[in-house]
Amino acid sequence: MKMHTTRHTQTRGLSPVHLIPLSFLAAVLAGTLLLLLPVSTAPGQHTDPLTALFTATTSVCVTGLVVVDTYLHWSLFGKIVILFLIQLGGLGIITVLSTLMLLLGRKFTLSDRTLLSETFNLSTRSGLLQFLSKVVAGTFLMEGIGAALYCVRFIPRFGAARGIWYAVFHAISAFCNAGIDILGPDSLCAWASDGYFLCVTMALIVAGGLGFVVWFDLTDSLSSLLHRKDVLRRGKRRLSEHTRLVLRSTAALIVFGALFIYLAERENPDTIGRMPVAQALLNSVFQSVTFRTAGFASVPQQSLTDVSCLVGYIWMFIGGSPVGTAGGVKTVTMFIVIWNAFCYIAHRRSTAIFRRRISETMIRKAAAIVVVSLLFSLAFSALLAAVSGAPLRDALYEIFSALATVGLSRGLTPTLGAASRLIVILSMYLGRIGPISMALFFANVRTGNQGTEYAEGRFYVG
């Protein structure tokens, strides 16, 4: 962000670096108050302030960890509040407020545009309002398609009214990568044999996790294909290097994750060991997809082997792709860090992909995000294990899940005491705003004449 825009936003009190985290905090507090209303709780249930705070946080941060059964504890009004918070958190509070401004015809100031560009982590404000409109319209379109596809399963089972409600709820939850369901106490385990249902869910999860920039690049490319004869060659050429990297890294993570999980779980009777091969493979793919910030589970997570848990830590940490609804450090960020190491080992003069050089600033930014996120993950895992007395494996699983806004649980979260729940709440909040805030902070650091230039020192590494 340029210096003059920074000064302009500061004249209004707070910079985007502060406004974005505070907007999420305000949404969490407002959601907590709404969930504390008696009308939000189902008859015979009681909601204490910490439960309301935990549920509001997991909804706004589109995480999915819960301390009470969503389908049982909350009334219809409470579930509507949760769904609204999920949609708000998935799109982003600044995005929703900007959309309301656009609908009301309010003029966007320079600081408004700066805040919105920082929310999307875009380097330009050109065409920003058009991008905003496409994001909101595309989100509702994808969720609408998902709801229609879900209706095929839910209406025959639950009736028209309830089936449509279930379809809408789970379409929004899946697309926003929230992982909160209202089907029962065991997430999607009862649907493990329904290939159609699992495929629809995976499609929504992946669509939300690819990122808005990739969507629009793909749709623009598809549109161009309709007007050209040389379809394949020209279509591939139109895709940006970012889109190609996201698509390849996403496909690789899904395929290799599924392979590792299948090999680790194929003899495990508590997960996929008793399933037919085709069903076992499908559930392995689903587990690989849901590991990367979705939070739905088609097999009991507490029954996973150590190998699958290790894959889970890594896949949750990586997460989805930039400028989307998923969490984690993001696929492109992790790729840049790893690829830079390979390029150094290969003695390449620069780090490049698809014949495009990755800037030194981008490499440093990616490395900072990965290192800081990893330190937070390990520190909070150790803290949770120490405070709760839980096995380190389960504490790691829960914290990696919370910080990456995944929502998968090995059954630890509902058993935690007040102090431990506060640790998870903080982890979920930092997981939603942390990578964004870090990215904004490092984007605002300018190279060049910053501070004092020192003579090169002599250090030894490796």
Positions of the chain with pLDDT lower than 70, given as ranges = 1-17, 118-119, 121-126, 226-237, 435-451
- Residue 117 to residue 64: CA distance in whole angstroms: 27
Amino acid at 306: D
CA distances to 27, 235, 275, 427 from 390, rounded to whole Å, are 31, 52, 31, 17
Segments of 142-243 assigned E as strands: none
pLDDT of residue 445: 47
Instruction: Name, in order, each residue with C-beta under 8 angstroms of 297's C-beta and a sequence gap of 6 or more.
Output: 186, 187, 188, 189, 287, 290, 408
Q: Yes or no: say if 188 and 297 are a contact pair by the CB < 8 Å rule.
A: yes
* Adjacent-strand bridge partners of 357: 352
Question: Which among 196, 208, 401 is positioned nearest to 282, based on CA atoms?
Answer: 196
pLDDT of residue 448: 47
Question: Which among 346, 334, 307 is positioned nearest to 435, based on CA atoms?
Answer: 334
* Adjacent-strand bridge partners of 74: 41
pLDDT of residue 132: 85
- List pLDDT tens digits, range 251-310: 999 999 999 999 999 999 999 999 999 999 999 999 999 998 888 999 999 999 999 999
Looking at residue 353, what DSSP letter applies? E
Q: What is the pTM of this model?
A: 0.87
Q: Yes or no: say if 192 and 279 are a contact pair by the CB < 8 Å rule.
A: yes
- Residue 434 to residue 423: CA distance in whole angstroms: 15
Q: Yes or no: say if 133 and 120 are a contact pair by the CB < 8 Å rule.
A: no
- List pLDDT tens digits, range 51-96: 999 999 999 999 999 999 999 999 999 999 999 999 998 888 778 8
Q: What sign results for the dihedral spanned by CA atoms 283, 284, 290, 296?
A: positive
pLDDT of residue 435: 55
Q: Which long-range contacts (CB under 8 A, 24 or more apart) does 148-155 make?
A: 149/200, 150/197, 150/200, 152/196, 153/194, 153/196, 153/197
Cα angle value 310/327/433 (rounded, 5°): 125
Domain ranges (residues) in the chain: 3-220+238-444
pLDDT of residue 437: 64
Q: Yes or no: say if 167 and 181 are a contact pair by the CB < 8 Å rule.
A: no
